[in-house]
């Protein structure tokens, strides 16, 4: 039996993809201790891991609700500085056999290097390669806006990184990759087919596909849908607040008897603030996403990987309106693989939205694109492939 510690950030899109793997590791005989926040204690414990809360949870709060890439990097660096003392003390004292850490939890990678403990990184998002930014001019423009001088975010990121190196006396500052931490073995919850510039990523990146429990039990939602109507599902994530103008634009665009619309606005938006809701709309702060996707003809989404995976597995074409650069890259991949359409929020108009949806519903070419991605997920091998890779990693390090 090997003792593994898993460091993650307390966000659903980062926690949920890892739990089937954690369950498999525990069933294989490993003892897994999982660091997160109490919000996720129940589901982590249900996977068979030993839950352990970070003592300094306040350090993680500022990492939420940030869409600017470099600003996000500075916030993660600040969180890393706030968490490193407790992480290094605990790892140094208890010496687990190996570490797992999320790509956005660089304290795990630093602890691995400081103590010479082998590590595995998990990627709920696609690994980043700079050429992906030039796949589409809209991503490039968003990228430029993220590094233009004047925001102060880049200087803050550099300052926070230097503070980590200085205060924790790190040997090599180049080892700190704040925005996308890697390890000897990297488990990616997608497929190589979906990865842009896949040839750049060597065999240390093991793509296993998403593990979406399509049969999971959810609270049922009463949807008002008449015979012959097409079901449009609109949800742009729970972490980032979408503007009221976006939701109001959707209301104007689909106040149309041809459609039944389910719109999830998130906890940050009061549905009453949207004004009059047409009779063909069902609006809620949260909806059971898989239950809706099973019936949907189209999904208007922000393009997070979990949402993309669920849409692909349910064969629902996507109109992607991204918040972040990472989501813009996902959107461009979806468009390239003919599984949907990519529109930035700034280019949305009533006419573009209506035309895109009209052209997408029932589009055979897009159904073919979705099927090819879906097949690549199945062929990736799932949790069994990840377990096989980690077993080989453990044998290499004498942990079996």
Does 268 share its domain with 347?
A: yes
pLDDT of residue 68: 67
In a domain, 221, yes or no: no
Tokens of 232: 């449009």
Does 244 share its domain with 146?
A: no
Q: What is the DSSP letter of 205?
A: E
| Helical packing angle, 69-94 and 153-167, nearest 10° | 10
pLDDT of residue 319: 97
In a domain, 55, yes or no: yes
Does 184 share its domain with 265?
A: no
In a domain, 134, yes or no: yes
- Number of residues assigned to the chain: 400
Does 246 share its domain with 389?
A: no
pLDDT of residue 74: 78
In a domain, 219, yes or no: no
- How would DSSP label each residue in 258-272? TEEEEEE--TTS-GG
Q: Are 177 and 106 in contact (CB under 8 A)?
A: yes
Q: Are 54 and 86 in contact (CB under 8 A)?
A: yes
- Separation CA 378–CA 211 (nearest Å): 10
CATH code, 269 = 3.40.50.2000
- Separation CA 254–CA 258 (nearest Å): 8
Q: What is the DSSP letter of 317?
A: -
Does 196 share its domain with 51?
A: yes
Q: What is the DSSP letter of 38?
A: G
In a domain, 222, yes or no: no
Does 195 share its domain with 67?
A: yes
Tokens of 337: 């693989």
* Chain-centre distance for alpha carbon 295: 23
**Cα dihedral across residues 152, 157, 160, 166: positive or negative:** negative
Alpha-carbon Rg for the chain in angstroms: 21
Does 51 share its domain with 191?
A: yes
- Domain residues for the domain of 34 are 3-209+381-396
| Helical packing angle, 106-115 and 69-94, nearest 10° | 40
Does 279 share its domain with 163?
A: no
* Residue 293 DSSP SS3: helix
- Separation CA 101–CA 64 (nearest Å): 18
Does 37 share its domain with 11?
A: yes
Q: Give the other-Cβ count within 10 Å of 358's Cβ.
A: 14
Domains contained in the chain, number? 2
- Separation CA 259–CA 231 (nearest Å): 6
The vertex-77 CA angle with 268 and 304, nearest 5°, equals: 45
* Residue 36 DSSP SS3: strand
pLDDT of residue 51: 98
Does 294 share its domain with 169?
A: no
**Residue written as token pair 């700190």:** 176
Does 130 share its domain with 180?
A: yes
Does 52 share its domain with 88?
A: yes
In a domain, 217, yes or no: no
In a domain, 113, yes or no: yes
* Chain-centre distance for alpha carbon 198: 19
pLDDT of residue 243: 76
pLDDT in tens, the chain (400 residues): 899 999 999 988 899 999 999 999 999 999 999 999 999 999 999 999 999 999 988 877 755 556 666 777 778 888 888 899 999 999 999 999 999 999 999 999 999 999 999 999 999 999 988 888 888 888 888 877 766 654 677 788 788 888 888 888 887 666 677 778 899 999 999 999 999 999 999 999 999 999 876 555 566 677 878 888 999 999 986 545 567 889 999 999 999 999 999 999 988 788 888 999 999 999 998 899 999 999 999 999 999 999 999 999 999 999 999 988 889 999 999 999 999 999 998 888 999 999 999 999 889 999 999 999 999 999 999 999 999 999 999 999 999 7
Element (H, E) at 166: helix 153-167
pTM for this prediction? 0.92
3-state helix, strand, coil in the chain (%, to 5): 50, 15, 40
In a domain, 223, yes or no: no
């Amino acid at each position: 039996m090997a003792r593994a510690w898993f460091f993650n950030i307390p966000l659903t899109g980062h926690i949920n993809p890892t739990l089937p793997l954690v369950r498999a590791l525990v069933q294989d005989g490993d003892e897994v201790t999982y660091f997160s926040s109490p919000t996720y204690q129940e589901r982590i414990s249900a996977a068979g891991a030993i839950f352990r809360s970070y003592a300094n949870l306040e350090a993680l709060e500022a990492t939420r609700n940030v869409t600017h890439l470099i600003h996000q990097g500075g916030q993660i660096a600040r969180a890393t500085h706030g968490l490193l003392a407790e992480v290094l003390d605990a790892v140094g004292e208890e010496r687990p056999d190996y570490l797992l850490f999320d790509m956005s939890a660089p304290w795990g990678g630093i602890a691995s290097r400081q103590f010479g403990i082998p590590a595995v990184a998990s990627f709920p998002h696609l690994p980043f390669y700079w050429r992906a930014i030039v796949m589409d001019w809209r991503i490039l423009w968003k990228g430029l806006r993220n590094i233009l001088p004047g925001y102060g975010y880049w200087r803050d990121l550099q300052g926070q990184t230097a503070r980590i190196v200085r205060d924790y006396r790190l040997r090599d500052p180049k080892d700190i990759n704040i925005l996308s931490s890697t390890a000897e073995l990297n488990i990616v919850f997608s497929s190589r087919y979906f990865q842009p510039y896949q040839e750049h990523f060597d065999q240390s990146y093991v793509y296993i596909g998403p593990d979406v429990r399509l049969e999971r039990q959810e609270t049922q939602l009463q949807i008002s849908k008449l015979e012959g109507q097409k079901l449009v599902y609109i949800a742009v994530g729970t972490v980032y607040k979408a503007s009221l103008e976006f939701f109001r634009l959707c209301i104007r665009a689909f106040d149309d008897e041809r459609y039944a619309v389910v719109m999830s606005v998130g906890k940050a938006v009061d549905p009453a603030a949207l004004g009059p809701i047409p009779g063909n709309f069902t609006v809620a702060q949260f909806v059971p996403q898989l239950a809706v996707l099973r019936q949907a003809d189209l999904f208007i989404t922000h393009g997070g990987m979990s949402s993309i995976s669920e849409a692909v597995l349910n064969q629902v074409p996507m109109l992607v309106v991204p918040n972040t650069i990472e989501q813009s890259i996902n959107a461009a991949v979806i468009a390239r693989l003919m599984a949907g359409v990519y529109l930035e929020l700034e280019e949305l108009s009533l006419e573009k939205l209506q035309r895109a949806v009209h052209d997408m519903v029932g589009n055979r070419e897009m159904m073919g694109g979705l099927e090819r991605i879906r097949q690549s997920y199945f062929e990736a091998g799932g949790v069994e492939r990840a377990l096989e890779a980690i077993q080989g990693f453990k044998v290499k390090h004498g942990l079996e």
